[in-house]
A and B are shown apart, each in its own frame.
Chain A
Amino acid sequence: MKIYLSIASLAVAAAFAAPACAQQLAPAGSEIAFTSKQMGVPVDGRFKKFDAQVAFDPKKPEAAKIAFTIDLASVSLGVAETEAEIAKPDWFDTKKFPQASFQSGAVKATGAGKYEVAGKLTIKGASQNVVVPVAIAQTGAATTATGAFTIKRLDFRIGDGDWKDTSMVANDVQVRFKLALTGVPAL
């Protein structure tokens, strides 16, 4: 009886999960990186841990649902001292806000393999509407989605207090992503 119940609940879970998470993210081939500028000097960082729930059919972009979560503590800047600093309340405040998230709204095609994903980006408790251009490339079963957009760090109170001065750390931060997906229907 217990076994039957378990199987039944698994089946129900699978039935609900399947349409919502039609596609799988391959973390090994994916990357979320960013570049900020400190007194004109570009400083690169990336996130090692993130996840995405993607339900996307290239032929029906308007029905697409894309959600992201990024573990802010997984940030890599190449310098241990800076990584310790960025976890502090003035920056990511990782203890209070461990994750950043993105939830798509309207998605529309803008060209062959090109889409525009509007959505809500939430970091450190602050939400902003963003429009993200995405290019889709497919080889066999593998799909790669790439794009870049710019956010203003002060919109999310990233670099608060003494660090507010944008002549030291620029307000504009470029975010770049490359997502390796499987299970995306053909373009």
Chain B
Amino acid sequence: MPSSPASRYTRTAITLHWLLALALLGSFCVGLYMTGLPLSPQRLKLYNWHKWAGITILTLSIVRLVWRVTHRPPADVPMPAWQQRAAHWAHRALYTLFFAVPLAGWAYSSAAGFPVVVFGVLPLPDFVPADKALAEAIKPLHAALAWTLALVVLAHVAAALKHHFVDRDGLLARMWPART
């Protein structure tokens, strides 16, 4: 079944979508798990992996945003106007949080006195000073933003499944990896 260029997202957009979906899910789960651990090599490892994943998400999100503004996505499938508006606002919220969550995490790490060193070799600059009070203020912000992202992702997934199983309008196929 040949598809016109506008009926599907580009291969790059699809790859970035699923790659980031996995990275976000993994980072969120590790983030939830690691904060409950006692001080141990295991916790140290997970914290650093979480930070590296966060910086990877931030970097890929920049690529993704550039791709998004330079490539027109397929037109909306027919749906009520309020759903269309809700979908567009959810996408804006997702993109905003792709940046806000890792940036808040990076800031928290810096404020707590632990500069981020990506993959143990690339030291990142601190854009906030090492300051205990500041760290305590940023910590709940990072968590709240992450939970907000989780909720918007949940709404996004629920809507996609509704389109697929209830409306059967082919919306999910536009983002599904191409069958070759």
Contacts and interface: CB of A to CB of B under 8 A. Distances in A.
Q: Do A and B bind each other?
A: yes
Given A39-B120, A40-B121, A41-B48, A163 B41 contact: yes
Given A39-B48, A41-B48, A162 B41 contact: yes
B44 A39 contact: yes
Interface string B107-140: 0000011111101110100000010100000000
B115 A41 contact: yes
A162 B40 contact: yes
Interface string B18-45: 0000000000000000000001110011
Given A82-B39, A85-B39, A41 B45 contact: no
A38 B44 contact: yes
A62 interface: no
Contacts, number: 39
A78 B44 contact: no
Nearest to A81: B39
What bracket does the count of chain B residues touching chain A fall in? 10 to 19
Q: B interface, by DSSP: helix, strand, loop or mixed?
A: loop
Interface residues of A, number: 17
B115 A42 contact: yes
A168 B113 contact: no
Nearest to B114: A41
Interface of A: 38-44, 78-79, 81-82, 85, 162-163, 165, 168-169
26 contacts: A38-B44, A39-B44, A39-B45, A39-B48, A39-B117, A39-B120, A40-B117, A40-B119, A40-B120, A40-B121, A40-B123, A41-B48, A41-B116, A41-B117, A41-B120, A43-B114, A78-B130, A78-B132, A79-B113, A81-B39, A85-B39, A162-B41, A163-B41, A165-B41, A168-B41, A168-B45
Interface of B: 39-41, 44-45, 48, 112-117, 119-121, 123, 130, 132
